[in-house]
Amino acid sequence: MNYQNTPEFAHQMDDQDPLKNFRNKFLVPKHKGKDVIYFCGNSLGLQPVTSRDYAGQKFDNWKDLAIEGFFVGNDPWLGYHKKLTQTLADIVGAKSEEVSVMNSLTVNLHLLLVSFYKPTNKRFKIIMEGGAFPSDQYALASQARFHGYDPKEAIIEIFPREGEEILRTEDILETIEKNKDELALVLFGGINYYTGQFFDIEAITKGAHAAGAYAGFDLAHAAGNVVLKLHDWDVDFACWCSYKYMNSGPGGISGIFVNEKYFNDDSLHRFAGWWGHREDKRFLMPHDFEADKGAAGWQVSTSPVMLLALHKAALDIFEEAGGIQPLRKKSEALTGYLEFIIGEVNAANGDDLFKIITPGDKQARGCQLSIVCKQNAKATFNYLTDHGVIGDWREPNVIRISPVPLYNSFSQVYAFGQILAGAVAVD
């Protein structure tokens, strides 16, 4: 696409955007009386306009029906979580029975590791990306200790080559092959939170399986952002949050994927709870646990209906937009325009003041660009904030900017470029 650094081009792109009206479905914070330019969906998505109504319906049911709300009324609570699974399955590329909605992200990661991290004296090592989100690092280290291993010996972190910012797939596969005799698990993020790199999930999964190890993924920054095909890629398990690109509220409910090939695998351990018991026998209160069908058998606790309602409000917008494919098409164009605009700011100043460390290949990134500011980094970020741009700061000098296709526009990207140029002028 031949991008242009003009307001006319940006407006033309917005006029041609089939998703242009979807930004009206979200509530946008104000700055000096005007909508902010919100480029922080990689940390917390905006609130859907309908969220309050969806949750309010559940409050009304609670008020009017009390305990009977589980069984009667509009959308009884007992099976409400099932109304979300097909939409989620479409977003992550799974069968509906391979997906469940429950808990929060790191809780789900731990529950899945109970099943899929099964170290032995010979096979106990875990491979993960260096610089993964700290929660993943903490979870894996604590799992290693729980099984009696020193995390320094059990966990292998892969870092980019010297002088490079992103991981090469061949280096990941080489590390897997090198450690295949001792490897129990490969656990990667789908997209690295810091660099924005979208890892080759299919290749990593194949490499892990060839080494005799399980392959799992934390999709916090990938679900609702990029096209995923977890079932077709033969991923063993995955989990994600819902409050970033799926706009379901701070601390929103999480989801899991478990490949159908493990549904009847009795060799897998799991931490059981009442809500994961066979639904048709759950209220018989049996003494012994019998897992529900599919990923639902990994559930533990009663579904939090209010959180589910907020999640459904957001997922219904995905449904209305036609799913992840049209969103991804716009995202690639929107992020490409952001990359172009940053290049224009650099060119106007005769220097690469802003270095994008996110991959340039659109297939290897989502909608986030991570930008290294080579001078006056924090002052630049503060200038953006003072002028109505909400991005994300990461020490020591990285600004993460994420134009989300559901509620961001090409005109906002153009305006960001003008404000960024203003920050340079002040410096």
Q: List, in order, residues 6 or more apart from 283 with CB less than 8 Å away.
A: none
Q: How far is residue 301's CA from residue 274's CA, in Å, rounded to a whole number?
A: 7
Q: What ranges make up the beta strands (E) of 174-252?
A: 183-189, 214-218, 237-240
pLDDT digits (tens, 9 = 90+) for 232-277: 999 999 999 999 999 999 999 999 999 999 999 989 999 999 999 9
Q: pTM, whole model, 2 decimals? A: 0.96
* pLDDT bucket at 352, cuts 50 / 70 / 90: confident
With pLDDT > 90 as the criterion, what percentage of the chain qualifies?
Answer: 96
* pLDDT bucket at 427, cuts 50 / 70 / 90: low
DSSP 14-77: HHT-TTGGGGGGEE--EETTEE-EE-BTTT-PPEETTHHHHHHHHHHHHHHHGGGGGTSSSS-G
Q: What is the mean pLDDT of the chain?
A: 96
pLDDT digits (tens, 9 = 90+) for 58-102: 999 999 999 999 999 888 999 999 999 999 999 999 999 999 999
Domains of the chain, start order: 7-35+324-426 (3.90.1150.10), 55-320 (3.40.640.10)
* The predicted structure's pLDDT at residue 1: 80
| Type of residue numbered 61 | N
Mean pLDDT of 192-206: 98
How far from each other are the two terminal CA atoms of the chain, in whole angstroms? 32
Mean pLDDT of 12-25: 98
* The predicted structure's pLDDT at residue 74: 85
CB 168 within 8 A of CB 195: no
Omega into 151 within 30° of 0, i.e. cis? no
Q: How far is residue 263's CA from residue 259's CA, in Å, rounded to a whole number?
A: 8
Mean pLDDT of 150-177: 97
Q: List, in order, residues 6 or more apart from 78 with CB less than 8 Å away.
A: 70, 71
**Strand pairing report for 99-101 and 255-258:** antiparallel
Q: How far is residue 118's CA from residue 60's CA, in Å, rounded to a whole number?
A: 45
Mean pLDDT of 346-361: 93
CB 407 within 8 A of CB 330: no
pLDDT of 339 above 90: yes
* pLDDT bucket at 351, cuts 50 / 70 / 90: confident
Q: List, in order, residues 6 or more apart from 361 with CB less than 8 Å away.
A: none
Q: How far is residue 334's CA from residue 326's CA, in Å, rounded to a whole number?
A: 12
Phi, psi of 338, rounded to the nearest 5 degrees: -60, -45
pLDDT digits (tens, 9 = 90+) for 382-396: 999 999 999 999 999
